[in-house]
């Protein structure tokens, strides 16, 4: 019995902690929507949204200027 608990105990505890973290994440997300008035359908910004185009465009311009 002790060997079974030694082998199965840590993964079960890790799964329990992962479950608690997901519940906490849903709670925090709901609290932000409810109390802070954030949009529930809001999408995170990408680097191209913050800096204009992507890195691929810079490389294309450098190739055009080289020719």
The mean pLDDT of 55-65, rounded to a whole number, is 59
pLDDT in tens, 5-57: 899 999 999 999 999 999 999 999 888 888 888 777 888 888 888 887 655 55
pLDDT, position 56: 58
Instruction: Kindly report whether the global pTM for this prediction surpasses the value 0.85.
Output: no
Residues 6+ apart with CB under 8 A from 40: 29, 33
pLDDT, position 9: 93
In angstroms, the CA 57 to CA 21 distance is: 39
Label residues 2-27 b or e (16+ Cβ within 10 Å = b).
Answer: eeeeeeeeeeeeeeeeeeeeeeeeee
Q: Which of 52, 32, 28 is nearest to 42 (CA)?
A: 32
pLDDT, position 63: 59
Q: Look up the domain containing 36 and give its range.
A: 2-66
């Amino acid at each position: 019995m002790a060997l079974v608990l030694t082998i199965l105990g840590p993964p079960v505890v890790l799964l329990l902690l992962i479950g608690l973290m997901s519940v906490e994440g849903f709670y925090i997300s709901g609290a932000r929507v409810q109390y802070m008035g954030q949009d529930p359908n809001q999408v995170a910004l990408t680097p191209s949204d913050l800096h204009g185009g992507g890195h691929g465009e810079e490389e294309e311009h450098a190739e055009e200027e080289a020719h």
